[in-house]
Homo-oligomer: A and B are copies of this chain.
Amino acid sequence: MHFEQRTVTCGKLRPEHAGQQVVLNGWVNARRDYGGIIFLDIRDRDGVTQAVVDTSHRADLGEQIREVRSEYVIWVKGAVRMRENPNPNISTGLIEILADDIGVINPADVTPFEIVDDLGTNEELRLTYRYLDLRRPILQKNFFTRNKLSQITHRFFEEEGFVEIETPVLTKSTPEGARDFLVPSRINKGRFYALPQSPQLFKQLLMVSGFDKYMQIVKCFRDEDLRADRQPEFTQIDVEMSFITQEDILGLTERFIKKAWKEILDYDVTVPFLRMPFKEALERYGSDKPDLRYGLELTNVTEIARSSSFTVFSESVASGNVVMALNAKGCATFSRKQIDELGEHAKKYGAKGLPWLKVSGSEVTGSFVKLVNDAERDELLTAMNAVDGDLLLFFPGEWERACTVAGALRTEVAKRTGVLASVAGTYSFHWVTEFPLLEYSEEESRWIARHHPFTAPMIDDVALLSVDPTHARAIAHDLVINGYEAAGGSVRIHTNDVQTKMFDLLGFEREDADAKFGFLLNALRFGAPPHGGIAFGFDRLVMLLCGTDNIRDVIAFPKTTSGLSLMDGCPSDVDAQQLTNLGIALSKL
Q: Please give the residue numbers on chain A whose beta carbons come within 8 Å of chain B beta carbons, in ascending order.
A: 1-3, 5-6, 9, 25, 27, 43-46, 71-73, 105-109, 111, 129-132, 134-135, 140, 143-144, 146-147, 150-151, 154, 158, 163-173, 177-178, 180-195, 201-202, 205-206, 208-212, 219, 221, 223, 225-226, 232-233, 235, 242-245, 459, 494-495, 519, 522-530, 555-557, 559, 562-565, 567-575, 578-587, 589
Contacts and interface: CB of A to CB of B under 8 A. Distances in A.
Nearest to A185: B571
B167 A556 contact: yes
B163 A211 contact: no
Contacts of A221: 169-170
A365 to B, nearest CB: 47
A245 B571 CA distance: 35
A206 B169 contact: no
A563 B188 CA distance: 8
A587 B146 CA distance: 44
Contacts of A150: 154, 164
A396 to B, nearest CB: 37
Contact of A106 (B186, B495, B564): B495
A73 B168 contact: no
Contacts of A172: 565, 568-572
6 contacts: A3-B530, A132-B208, A146-B165, A168-B233, A190-B589, A519-B568
B5 A135 contact: no
Contacts of A72: 527
B527 A211 contact: no
B182 A578 contact: yes
Given A183-B181, A495-B1, A171 B106 contact: no
B108 A143 contact: no
A557 B523 CA distance: 14
A269 to B, nearest CB: 24
A248 to B, nearest CB: 8
Contacts of A579: 182, 587
A243 B25 contact: yes
A585 B257 CA distance: 46
Given A132-B526, A135-B209, A154-B151, A187 B570 contact: no
Main secondary structure of the interface of A (DSSP, over half): loop
A525 B556 contact: no
**A-B pairs, 5 with minimum CB distance:** A108-B527, A172-B570, A134-B209, A191-B571, A185-B571
A242 to B, nearest CB: 8
A509 to B, nearest CB: 15
Contacts of A183: 181-183, 195, 571
Contacts of A233: 168-170
A109 to B, nearest CB: 5
Contacts of A5: 243-245
Given A1-B495, A191-B572, A109 B526 contact: yes
Given A188-B571, A580-B587, A523 B131 contact: yes
A117 to B, nearest CB: 14
The CB with the most chain B CB atoms within 10 A, among A107, A130, A131, A190, is that of A131
The CB with the most chain B CB atoms within 10 A, among A135, A183, A494, A573, is that of A183
Given A25-B243, A585-B586, 18 more contacts: A3-B530, A43-B210, A109-B526, A129-B526, A131-B209, A131-B526, A143-B211, A169-B169, A169-B219, A170-B221, A173-B574, A182-B574, A187-B223, A187-B562, A188-B564, A191-B570, A193-B570, A583-B589
Contacts of A459: 2
B587 A584 contact: yes
Contact of A158 (B44, B134, B151, B165): B151
Given A6-B243, A211-B45, A527-B108, A167 B557 contact: yes
